Each structure stands twice: as structure tokens, then as C-alpha cells.
Structure 1
């Protein structure tokens, strides 16, 4: 690099020559020297980017400009260069920038235009520069006149562009940016439309001129305008298109350029917005590293750094709220405070950042230790922000009102200060009635917030009328069509709850209630719940990963059950209520079942449509794939973006398929007739549980009938579930309560009103479909077992379980291979020893016993390596999968419940892994999971989603599954498996043999246990039940280890470290508990 001082000296010498006004030849020569030297200085600045160098450029350019003859064309270049340099200096100075630099830059650009001849390329360039300088000043001041003037001069430049000019795309781009900024200021959709059209024209022009990088830069602007319009209108198509554009074009822009940084920054912003609107955590997880990358590429003094710090703070806060991690919230607050400290007091985004920081502090108050300082500081910051907001900025006023009202309500819940509630109601009312457009997406959140605070105030003396106002606000929030789905669903649920509350209070306060009044209340409630249910499936799109769907759906647990109960109270038909119940639960598994539907009929009639379906299914039903950040930018090969596009195509394909004759109902929700098909040949009973009422929907071949269960209540179910968890010895009394309140009346209604002899050939069979918390209770085991009276489910019917009628129908629709007549493979896994878990001596005996039975089952035993990859590889080749070992149930994320193999600590075999298997083309016959809690889901908000190891096997394609509702212990598992497989050996590999095999095993174990308990001590029971070394000759089938320990906290086939399924050392003090023997074993399937 040439010595900078030499360059500066050269410029000064040239200026000295010019100042003396020599002849024209000397002037031209001096100008040429100055021009070259100034260009050299600009080159130095491009390499260093230092403030010192831009100051030298300004100083030297001003010097030359002061002595150049006014008539000389070189003045135009100097005016342009000086205006740009002044604007750059302002930007580089950050919060210390001098606004006079911007003012002078605009003044010089105006002079530049005047100095050019109309209609020339020089005039176009000067107009473009003036457009940019006005934009830069607008960015700092938000003076509307500046951006309007920028558009005027930008349009003037466009109008005089000669055809085919190489800079046309650049001029169009500047105009599009100006229009975009005007749109952001005014929210005028006509301006947005014009801005988008201009940007699209610029992109097309750049592409036609083979300027790929230029097209990519312009595409950044197009994406920004689309994103802004999406924020205003809630249009998801605009948002998706904007993200698509940026993912495609950002990698085409050179890294370390401002255009690259701007594109990556806005991609991160849009992904964050899409997460807020649609809840897909993949978007959030991608946006955070993108924003960090942007900050890494910025200098500490970059004027845009505060904005990026705030963007990162917002995303970290959202992740903290999503995961519950306070560390993310703490980091968000730190970054938000940094943004505010770096930005000047006059920064146009300062109001928004104060609001954001207030929200972060409010989140920490809510999720943390309720530090009063956090909530008070949050309220103070919100009020401070409200004082600075422009009265015409309705969008920001709405955001501030929403934030402040939420904070005031939270503080009221902490300190009961009614003044806070009153202020929240006033703040929201002012904004809602102050000119906020009806179609603004923010309106739903504001109406929801108003409903929330009015509902809280309605509980105060003399404020009962606020409850009606609250419901009206919730209904308006539901009707806000551009608001996020989560807000609309929640609003409809709240409105329904209020109407239901009115009905219950009216019934309670009137000895002779008017049926028409009750009907009106329940009709209103049912309408609201119907509205909420109708949006649930839209909330859980196919492209979203299952774990993200789980997080979304947890918020609306019980909605389907409450909706069904409200429909019944509104005197709606039972079959309609059942249809709505089915719609409101099992959503994740339902989407999987849709994708894995049998295509044989479609393939026979329309093979091309079937091929398209298969292609899209493979993309949507794939495992976890996400966007990544390479050194050049975002990469989305086969990732989330491709899945979104696949879903769009899938929806269009469904429409096409349904237009074909005979396929009108393809993948539509089951009709009433189809629901009844689920009860052929055996009845299905859906036991609905709601705080409004409890009922059994009895589904038989030709009709659906309703059985009210007045002795069953949600409160009793929750109490008995807790009692059973806290004290396993309470199981007998829980089973008796379950019999009296639910199972006995159901069986009586079906005509199963007396016990049957064990030797009866044709036992009745029933499908149980429990709803909500009833999923964790053993309906099949209900009854008075110690009375020897036959008053038990086990003495009257064979029982199986399904997660939904749709699941039952899907299983029945599968082609059933000839399991019985053809040789089969049995995949046998015995985890006698599991790393860092207690040894399971009898697991090996159990599998050895089954291996000996394999010849009689016409089965070839396969004993694979005990690693996840080996098991998954063998699953597609097996017909029976038998696992004996440790299982673990994940109480935070049920999709991570797992079977533990040798490599479980690094790679457990999870529900998600099994669910991702697709074995429907050759469906295996049986998965027997002889481990703990393989049929259990401990996450209350997801109990209706069927997320456990047993159902994961069914979704993978297994026809039958034997699992467990809770913990089981080691030595007694052998007898259950023996009796089960011996029945299949004797009766064939049929559906009926599976039902009968498990029933006989449990009945036999129950009889022996009850008899032994009647005769003597639990020690005798345990001693008699311990198998010999061959796993044979067990006198008493049971289900505890030799120390009387249960699976779970104390032992058994769980993921506990100690006290597990040992069998040796029979305990002398602990009597075996009933729940560790036969009760937990259950059948899922068809």
C-alpha cells in the first residue's frame, strides 16, 4: 500500500495548483492528479474501514472541491463522493454520529443533481445518490418528508433510464427500498404492493443481465417488504416466500459485505417472526446462530450493532420461554441492555427496545423466583417507552399496550393491587378504540389481554358484569382472523369456559332451573369449543417436527374432551360429539397415520398420483432434519424449507386425489359410519373425561350410544391417580373404585354382566379408548378381585387398548400377511446386563424360553448385537420383536422414552426412533416390550397423543403390541410371556390368539396371586414365583423381584441404577404389592 501521507500530500499539491487558477491545461492536469489520489484514498478505506481514513477522504475531497472551477464536470463526482463519505462517517460513529453530517450529505446530493444535465446518465446517478442520502437521513430521523422526497427523486431517475442500461436494476432497487420504508412507516398496503412490484422488476432485470449477485441483493429487499406485509396482514404465504427467497439468495452474496450481513440479519428476523406465529422451534433454533454470525461480522462501532443485539435478545428470550431455561432469559436481558446503552437517545427503535426489555424482565419474573424488582422495572420501562411513542404509530402503541397490560396483570396476581388491573384495562381500551385497524394481527392479542384482565377483575366484589365483557373480548380475539392461531384457539377456549361457568353456576343456584337457559349457555359454550377444535390441526402442520408439535399441543390439553362434553350438554347428537372428540385428540399420530395410509387402491386406479403421494410422504415422514449455517450462509438441503414446500404440494395433491371418483373422502376425518366400522367385530368404548361431565361412547357395528357416568369425575380420577403413584398398596381400592364408577356400568350396558369360565372358547373382547388422565389407569384390571365374585373386567371380557378410533381403523385397513402359514423371523433381545443399570437375571431366562418355543411357532430366532443401529436394521426383517430389559419413561418429553441397549447412554432407542420406522409394506406381527412403562406417557398435556413406546411400534407398522402401563419387576415377566406365546403356539398367529393369550396369562397370574395372598404371606408368593435356571416350573406367576421391590423408584425393568430386577435374595419383610404382578400388562393393536 502506498504511503497514506504521500497520497494526502499529492492531493494538497494538486489543490494548490488549482487554487492559483493557471491555464486550462494546468487545471486538467491537476484535476487528473487529484482524481487518482482520491481514488487511492478510497481504496485504502475499503481495505481498512477505519474512521481515520474516512475523515481523510472528507478532508481531502472538501479541499479539492473548494478550488475546482464550478463549471468543471469533475464537481459532480466530488459532490457525490463527499456526500457518500459524510454519510459513511455518520454510520461508523454509531451513537456519537453528528446529524450535521447527514444534513450536509443531503445538501451536497441536491447540489449534485443541479450540477448535472437533465436526461443524462449523470443526472440518473445524481438522483440515485440523492435518493440514498434522503433514505439515510430518514433512517435516523424517521422524517416522513425525507422518504417521500426519496421516492419522488427515485421515480424521476427510473423514468429517464435508457433502454438496456446496465445500472437499471440498481436504480429500481433504490426506489423499491424507498417504497418499502414508506410502507413500514404508513402501513399503506397499496404502497407495499407498489414496492413489491418494483423490487420484482429489479430482480428480473438483474437476472436478464446475468447479474446473479445483483439479483440476490435486490431479493433481500423483496423479502423484507414481503416480511413486513406478512407482519401487518398475518399472511403466512408472504412470510414463507420471504424466507424462501433469503435462504436461496443470501449464500450468493459475498461474505463480509453489508448486503450479506443485511440479508442474513433479516433472515434471522423472519425466522424468529415465523416461530412467534407458527411455533416451529426449528425456525427459532436457526435464527439464533444466524444473528450471532451477523454480530461476528460487524465492527463494535457499527451503527446497526444495537439492532442486532436486540434481535439476538428477542430470540434468546423466546428460546428461554420455550425451554424454561433462565440462562437464556438472563442473556436476553443483558443483550437488551447493551443495545439500549449503545444506541443514541434519539434512535428510532429505542421505544421498541424498551418495550422488549420490559417483556424479558417480565418473563424472568414469571419463570424465576418472582423477584418484585424485575416486574416493577419492567412496568417502569413500559411506561417510559409509552411516553416516547409517536401518537400516530398505532402498531407500536398496540405493542406497548399489550406488554404493559400483561405486566400489570402479573403484578396484580402477585400483590392483589387492583389499581394495576384498572390501568391495564384502560391502556388496552384506549388502543383498541384508538384507530387500530380491525385486520391488524396485534388485535387478537390485545382483545385476548383485555378478556384476561376483565375476567380477573370480575372476581372482585361488584364487578361480576366484567365477566360478560371478558367473554365478548375473547370472542373478538377469536374473530381476529389475522392473529396467530395460538391466540385464537386460546381465546375460543376461554370464551367457552366462561359460558360453561355460567351454566354450572346457574344450575347450582337454582332449585328448579329453566332447561332453556341451561341449553342456551351450553350452546354458546359448545360453539366456542367447536371454533377452537377447528383450528387445532392447522396448528400442527405436517412439515413441523413431532417434538415441536408436542410443545404446541400441550397448551391445549383436554380441549377435545371438554368440547365433546359441552356438545352433549348442548343436546347435540352423541355421534357428532364423538367426531369432535376424535378431531381434538391424537393429532400427531393421526398425521403420521395419514402419511402411512395404504396406497394399494390409489395405486391401482391412479398410479401417478400414488407415486407423487409416496414422494411427498418420504419427505414429510422423515426424521429430524434442520437448516444449518455454513461458512457462506444458510443451507437447507432436504431440511425444514424442503418440508414446508412438500406440505404445500401435499395439500394440492390431496385436493387433486379427492377430485377423482371414488376418492372423495381420501384422508378426510372418519364419518360416523366409519367410526362404527371400528367396532367390527368387537365393541369399542371411548371413555371421555371432562370437568363438565364424564361419559362412555359405546361404539358398536350399527350404532353409537352414550352412557353417562355420573359416579366418575375428573377430580376423582386425578385424586386416585395421585394416590396410586404415591402409594402402590392403594391399588386394590383404586381398582374397586374404577369398577364401580366406570367399568361395571359400561360392561352392563354391553350385556357383559356376569363372569365367564376360563375354558369358554369364545370370550367377548372390548377395545378401551380412555381419554385424558384416565389413560394412566388400568380399565382392564378394574374390579373386586379379592371377593372371588366375578365382579371384575378380567372375569367378563378380554381387553385391548387403542389411542383413538382412527388408529383402530388404520390398523384394520392394513393388509394382513399370512403369519400363521409362513415361516417368520423372531428378533429376540435380552438385556441381562445394561451399562450403569441393575442386572436383570430373568431377562435372559425369558428370551431363552421364547427361543425354545420358536420351532413350534415356525419362527427363526435372531439374536442381534445389542445396539440401537443393529436393532433398527433388523426390525424391517422381523415378524416378532421381543425385548426384555430396562425401559425408561421421559417425564419431560415422552418422545424420548426409550428401550435401553448397550449404547443407550449415547444413543437410546426412543419413541421417536421407533415412530420414524416405516414397516407398513410388510407389517410385523408383534412387538412384545417386556420392560417398564412401555405403554405409559407421564406428560399430562400429551396423554391423548399416544406418545409411548408401545404406540410408536404400532405407528411403525406392528400389528400387535404388548406393553406395560407402569413399572414391572424381573422374575415374574417370564410367566406372562410363557403363557402368552404358548397360546399363540396352540391357537395360531392370529389377532384372536393375541387377545386371548395375554388375557389368559393375566387371568392365571391374578388367580394365583389372589389365592396365595388368601393363604399366607407375600414371602411365600415370591418364593414360589422365582423360576429355576431354565426359566421353567414356576409355581406362582408374579411380578416383583425377590426383595419385594417394584419397578420404578425401587427396582425392576426400569432405568434405575440399583435395586433392579434381581430375583435372588427373597425378602422376608416386604410383602409383594398387587401392582407389580399382572395389572400393568396391556395390549395395543387391532
Structure 2
């Protein structure tokens, strides 16, 4: 035994030297000597010292055999007469390492049970008590990461607090940082920021105690950055976030192992994503994605990368990023070890696959399969809801009724999991409302409509702040009222729609549409007072729309202005009706090019625009149709009872189908609009037509019946808006240099080009020279332009354009040139007059529809000759003279196509 003691003392001395010097050779030698002492019948202390030394060596060299041997030795201690606090800490340390290595939760549970039992039997002041509390906190936090049981996190916080309060000076900074890390985890899990100040104080205290260059400063920097994200979330202070990102960058640079590097990179990426959400800077988003690409490819980091790629799609429309997100998230699901990591990755995958299927309906099965896999992993309400949404999408794509039925059953399950009082209970009700609405659209049965109303009504009452539920409920009320024709139900529906429109919580375009529908519904039951109020709200909301909302909502918003004007006319408010008609059309057309043109127009300014001839605003609405004629100093109202909106739509749709329909439409235009309007206009007057809605593409200037026609009565021009005409006149009156012309002809138009070159001494861009760049450059130097090109009309005037050799030049492209001296554009085809007028040309000669190339060339050449004869400032009269001369030689389908727009 004496030999064993001597050998033990020799081994212990070597270990002490190692602890002083850090020389691993002394550690290895000490372990070997202690093993000899144990073979000689060493003491319990020998077992404990050897186990501790092996544990130190494992933590340095990560040799599995050392950990297994240490555990075997410590087990002999536990099986002996008793274990002291120091030995127990060694056991817990070994078990934590075994858990980290093998992932066996039972091992971690044993460590926690031992630690909890020991701390209950000891207290502050005893050696290693602080260390055991510290180890207990770490173990509980690790179990929380595996099981997501919040009680483990609360226990970890309590243990870390005790450890930090009782820690020895040399251990206190590390224990303060572990407490801060656990508090951070609780904030992340619960969203409760009440512990943020405590966490920040712990990190600050640790940093104050740690000397420069200390290894734990990297961990402290990580926590500074991670906590700064919560502080910025609370204050929206970008400076706080910037400082946090700086700290996270430092923590990444000091990371000394793959695990800590991955965690710190993930946190840095999260902070960058937060900055992107505040700033919208795509460079920041791209940096976050690149940071995440550097993380180890485990489930957690892959899920973070998938989320960042989804953000690139959601914010920037990058479909390739979304495709990559789906691929990366599939890898995350496959790599997941813990149930929590698997569920998190599967949830993100389902969302990404569903978003991809929204863009590419043929991929809807991928979304459904991802959602089914998620439900197999967890039958949470979120998972069931996502599967239901994917199945509803499958129905929308394939008309598979079984998919819709299954979706309804799933939405019922979601509602059961989200009873009254649950924050998402209203959404569960609304989902069922939407389901029953789809069933009603499919079957048309009153019972299904009633079910949809019940659920949307309950959703609206459960969450009065969610205006979209109120809006859906109101629209369903309207559909039910339309079925019955009950005026009291129509009145109630109009009232509900007005309430929805008043809610700031509803998106802007939907608010405008709700106010419009409320107005029209009131008008249908002859409640014109409420109809006008709804129209006032709709027009006020229309003014507030951002440019992208206006552009994206052009189709839905186009009829709103005409209906509002009809309500104002019905109320006898002609000035308001005129201002609304101008303001609304200017907004929907002119604002695409220039926000300044959408300011509210004073009536006097509009009337003054009629100084050279009356401006006839033709308003077409299902409520009523009227002509508002502007004269200097007055507005004249002419009701048009023979003009009906549905007939106007029919004529617009059928116009030009054959010669009979063509002639029929010209006669109908004369009977319903032109003749009544011209009765109050002196002959040979210059009239500017500004039709709305379905009349906008029809030839009012060519209307006629039985020898009477507009061409014989007045000179006609068009203007998209009144202020567009004023602007055109101002541009046309500005001084200009030599009246040079550029002729653009991508295809064969040699005769036309030759004649124009002789008349004007025009420059020409023909064939392959007629490129986008060449044309845009030439327009800057030639006030007059002739385009012998095919047109590309668009529902959005800004996107309308002419087809060139290498692509299309749009009206918006030309508007951006801000042409300083433009005067006249002649377009051989395309119905682009209004668009080019708004783009910058004071005068535009255009055709409403394509005509025979030879006839078009003859008309345009004749126009240029007449223009030079009449004077360059009178293009409308020049065209009028040509049309009167040629109409006896050509059918109306040819000469009626040509129009003048502008000054």
C-alpha cells in the first residue's frame, strides 16, 4: 500500500505541474503513473484523480477511450461508500460529454438527476457547489434544446443564477455568460423581453472582468450581438443593431471550433436579416445568405439558410432563390436529429414548397407531400393548416373535389385545436369561411353560402381588428342580398362594406374597392346620399394609393372613377364630377409617368383648357351615362339616356368583327353620344373627345348615320385627360429649332421612307439600324418622329410601345428621356396615341386598329403633305382634311382608324 501511495503522490505531482504549465506531456505522464498506482491497489483518491485527469485529457484531445475510462472509474466511486461534491461534478461532466458524443438522452437525464440530488443535499460555501449548479444549468439547457420543455429552461436559469451568485472570482465571468446565454434562449423561445436587462447586465459584468485576449471574450461578443437583436426589436434603433453586428463579426473571428463558429455565423446572419427588414437593402440580405453558406451543414443552419433564401424570394421576387430554398430545406429535414429540428425544417420546407407551387401550379403535389410529411411528424394546428392550404391549392389547380373536401375536414380539426381564446381562433374561423365560400362557388346552394357567412361573421366578431374578415363577410352579405333582391339586406351589405373601407388595418387597394362597392350597392337601392358618401371615401382613398398599388390595380380600379362621377352627377355636383373624372383618369393614366400630374385639379384650370374648343368628357357607368362638356367658364351636363354601359361593353368587344358590326357601331355611336353632344356645338369647331371605359377604344370621331357624321360637323381630337391637353399645348408653344424629323422603320417601308425624306429631309433608321438604343438617342435630336412600326398596346399605358429590330420601346422609356423639344409623333399602327401623348409628345397621329400597309402609307404621306401646307401647328386640321378627301376612296375601316391626340 505504501508503494501505491508513493506512486499516487508522484502522479499527483505531475498533474499539478501540468495544471501550472499546460504541458500535455506532463498530463500524459501523470495519467500513466496514476494508472500504475491504481494497479498497486490505489486509494479512492487515486481513482478520483485519474478520472479527473482523463476527463481533462478528453476535453483537450477528444479521445473517446479517455472518456469511457473516466466514466468507468467514476462509476466505481458511485458504487462505493459514497461520492463527494467534487466527484459528483466530475461524473456530471463526463455524462454531459457522453451525451454530446452519443446523443443518448438517458445519459443526460442521469446527469441531471445526480446534479439535482447533490445540490439539494449541499449548499453555498461548500467546495464546487457553484460548479455543480453551473453544470446543472448547462445540462438542463441541453435537454431543453432536445425536448423544448420550457420547465427545463426555467430550471437552467435558476441554476445559473445560483452559480453566478456563488462563483469564485476566476469562474464568475464564465458563469455570468452562461446565465446570459440561457436568458437569451428564454427570450427567443417566449418573446418575453422582461429578462433582457438582466441578460445585458450579466454580459456587461463578464466583459468588465475578462482581460483583453481572454478566450471567453468571443462568447461575450456573441451574446452582445445576439441580445442587441432583441434590443433593436424593442426600440427599432438601427445603431444598436449596427453595434451588435460588429460584436458578432468579432465573435466569428475568434471562434475556435466548428460548433461555436456555426452558432456565431447563424446569429450574425440573423442580425443581418433583421437589418434588411429595417432597411430593405438587398446587399445586406445577400451578405446574410453568404454568411449562412459558411455554417456547418446541420439541420439548424440549413433551416436558417432556407429561411434567408425564402426572404429573397418574398422581398425581391427571386424565384431561383425560392427553388434553392426548397432544395436546402429538404436537406435540413434529412439532416435533422432532434424532433424539434425536424419539425422546424419541415415547417419551413412546407411553406417554401407552397410558395413555389403558387408560382408554378404543376408543383402543387410537392407542396402537398411536404405538408403530409410535416403532419406525420406533428399533428399541430400549424401543420394541419398548412396541409389544408396546400390541398385547397391543389383543388384550385386541378379541380380535384376530394382535395377540397379533405381541406375542409382539416380546417375543422384546426378549429378544434384553436378554441375560443386562442390567438389564432379567428383565423381558424376565417379559413372555414373561405372553404365554404369555395363550396358555394362550386355548388351555388344557399346553404353553403350561409355557412360561409356564419364562419366569416364569427371570425369578424372574434377579431374586430382584422378588417379582412369584415370585408369578406360584407361581400358575402352582398352576394346573399343579390340572390334575394332584398333591399334591406343590400343596405346592410353596403353598411358593412363601408365599415370595412373605414378600417386602416385593411390593405389600401382593398379599402378603395370596398368603398366603391358600398357606393354602387347604395346606388342600386336609390340611396344616392350614401352612394355619394361611399364615392367620396373611394376617391379620397384612391388619392392615397402608392404608385405600385395603382399600377397593379389598374384593371380593378378602372370602373371606380366612372361610378363615382355618376354618383356626383346624380347629386347635382357637376364641379365635383368633373374634378373626379379628371383626377381619377389622371391618376390611373398620368401618375404612371409623373406623380405631379395627379394633384387635385381646380375646376377653373380645367375650364380654361377649353379655350380653343370644347372638351367632351363622356362618362360611362352602369349607374348612368353622361357627357360633361367643358367650355371656358362653365361645365354643361348632357345626360345620355340612350347610352348603356352593357351595350357599350358589347360594342367594344364585337367592334370590327365584320363590316356589318363596324357600320353598326358607328351608327350606334352617333345615336347615343355624338349627335346629342354636337347639337350644342357650332359646326367646324375643334372638339376634343375624352371618352371613358368601353368607349375609349371606339372611333367617336367617325360616328355617323345616313349622311350625317362627326367628320362633316367638327374637327376631332382626343385627349386622355384635360390636363394632358394643357400640358401638350404648353409644350407645343415652347420655342424649337429646326423642325427635323426622324423616320423609324424596322421592316420594309422604302417608299414611305423615301417620300418623307423628300418632304422633310428626314433622317431614317431602317432595318437592323432601328434598334432601341439608336431610336432613343435619335429622339433627343428630332422634334418630329414617324414610326412605321407595329405597336404593342398594353392595359397599362406606360407599358405600351412600338416593336423595333431588337425589342420594344415603351411609352415609359420615352417619358424617361424627358424630350425637351418634342412636337409630333406619327404612328402607323397600334392604338398608342394616349400613351405617347402622356410620354411627352404634344401631338400624336395614330391608328385605333391596324390597317392595310399601303393604305396606311398613303394616308400618312398625305397627312405630312397637308401638315406642311396647313402649318406645323395644326396637325388635327391637316388630318381632318386628309380624311375628308380620302373617305370617298377608302372604306370607313381604313380612314376611321386615324386619330389625332393632343394639341
| TM-score interval, normalised by the smaller of the two chains | 0.7 to 0.9
Q: Confirm or deny that 1:988 pairs with 2:866.
A: no
Residue in 1 that maps onto 2:623 = 692
Give the alignment partner of residue 531 of structure 1, picking from 533, 537, 544. 537
CA separation in 2, counterparts of 1:532 and 1:286?
39
Aligned length: 798
CA separation in 1, counterparts of 2:469 and 2:138?
49
Per-residue displacement from partner, 1:542-561 (whole Å, max 9, x unpaired)? xx4xxx75332212221000
Give the alignment partner of residue 773 of structure 1, picking from 679, 682, 694. 694
Residue in 2 that maps onto 1:654 = none
Residue in 2 that maps onto 1:1085 = 902
Residue in 2 that maps onto 1:656 = none
Maintained 8 Å contact 1:65/1:75: no
CA separation in 1, counterparts of 2:485 and 2:747?
68
CA separation in 1, counterparts of 2:29 and 2:836?
81
Residue in 2 that maps onto 1:55 = 102
Q: Confirm or deny that 1:999 pairs with 2:898.
A: no
CA separation in 2, counterparts of 1:36 and 1:77?
20
Residue in 2 that maps onto 1:311 = 351
Secondary structure in structure 2 of the residue aligned to 1:705: strand
Deviation at 1:678, TM superposition (A): 2.1
TM-score for the superposition, normalised by structure 1: 0.65
Residue in 1 that maps onto 2:600 = 669
CA separation in 2, counterparts of 1:57 and 1:202?
40
Residue in 1 that maps onto 2:754 = 848
Structure of higher CA gyration radius: 2
Maintained 8 Å contact 1:54/1:85: no
Maintained 8 Å contact 1:131/1:151: yes
Residues 732/490 of structure 1: CA separation in 2 closer, same or farther (3 Å cut): same
Q: Confirm or deny that 1:929 pairs with 2:746.
A: no
Residue in 2 that maps onto 1:623 = none
Higher relative contact order (CA 8 A, sep 6+): 1
Please give the residue correspondences for 1:400-799 in structure 2 after superposition, counting only pairs within 5 Å.
400-434=428-462, 436=463, 438=464, 440=465, 443-460=466-483, 465-503=488-526, 521-541=527-547, 544=548, 549-571=550-572, 573-594=573-594, 668-752=599-683, 763-784=684-705, 787-788=706-707, 791-799=708-716
Deviation at 1:26, TM superposition (A): 5.0
Deviation at 1:33, TM superposition (A): 0.9
Deviation at 1:355, TM superposition (A): 3.0
Q: By percentage of residues, which structure has more helix?
A: 2
CA separation in 2, counterparts of 1:533 and 1:267?
39
Give the alignment partner of residue 852 of structure 2, picking from 943, 950, 969. 969
Residue in 2 that maps onto 1:301 = 335
Runs of 5+ unmatched residues, structure 1? 1-8, 43-50, 91-97, 139-143, 181-192, 228-238, 275-281, 321-327, 504-520, 598-666, 753-762, 834-842, 936-948, 1010-1037, 1039-1072
CA separation in 1, counterparts of 2:34 and 2:531?
84
Deviation at 1:770, TM superposition (A): 0.7
Residue in 2 that maps onto 1:868 = 772
Maintained 8 Å contact 1:401/1:428: yes
Maintained 8 Å contact 1:897/1:910: yes
Per-residue displacement from partner, 1:460-489 (whole Å, max 9, x unpaired)? 559764333322321221121122112212
Residues 149/977 of structure 1: CA separation in 2 closer, same or farther (3 Å cut): closer
Residues 58/246 of structure 1: CA separation in 2 closer, same or farther (3 Å cut): farther
Which range is displaced more, 574-583 or 950-959?
Answer: 950-959
Maintained 8 Å contact 2:306/2:328: yes
Secondary structure in structure 1 of the residue aligned to 2:782: coil
Deviation at 1:813, TM superposition (A): 3.2
Residues 563/286 of structure 1: CA separation in 2 closer, same or farther (3 Å cut): farther
Deviation at 1:685, TM superposition (A): 1.0
Residues 123/961 of structure 1: CA separation in 2 closer, same or farther (3 Å cut): same
Residue in 2 that maps onto 1:37 = 61
Secondary structure in structure 1 of the residue aligned to 2:636: strand
Residues 11/773 of structure 1: CA separation in 2 closer, same or farther (3 Å cut): farther
Maintained 8 Å contact 1:172/1:202: no
Residues 374/346 of structure 1: CA separation in 2 closer, same or farther (3 Å cut): closer
Runs of 5+ unmatched residues, structure 2? 1-27, 67-97, 120-126, 211-216, 253-263
Maintained 8 Å contact 2:31/2:54: no
Per-residue displacement from partner, 1:214-263 (whole Å, max 9, x unpaired)? 89977876798899xxxxxxxxxxx7657789648636845343898677
Residue in 2 that maps onto 1:5 = none
Maintained 8 Å contact 1:919/1:957: yes
Deviation at 1:456, TM superposition (A): 2.4
Give the alignment partner of residue 175 of structure 2, picking from 101, 115, 123. 123
Residue in 2 that maps onto 1:757 = none
Q: Confirm or deny that 1:380 pairs with 2:409.
A: yes
Cα RMSD (Å): 4.4
CA separation in 2, counterparts of 1:595 and 1:335?
42
Per-residue displacement from partner, 1:584-612 (whole Å, max 9, x unpaired)? 22435422453688xxxxxxxxxxxxxxx
Deviation at 1:669, TM superposition (A): 2.1
Residue in 2 that maps onto 1:355 = 385
Secondary structure in structure 1 of the residue aligned to 2:710: coil
Maintained 8 Å contact 2:306/2:348: yes
Give the alignment partner of residue 829 of structure 1, picking from 724, 734, 744. 744
Q: Confirm or deny that 1:901 pairs with 2:804.
A: yes
Secondary structure in structure 1 of the residue aligned to 2:335: coil
Residue in 2 that maps onto 1:811 = 728
Secondary structure in structure 2 of the residue aligned to 1:695: strand
Maintained 8 Å contact 1:492/1:532: yes
TM-score for the superposition, normalised by structure 2: 0.77
Residues 313/498 of structure 1: CA separation in 2 closer, same or farther (3 Å cut): farther
Residues 220/832 of structure 1: CA separation in 2 closer, same or farther (3 Å cut): closer
Q: Confirm or deny that 1:206 pairs with 2:229.
A: no
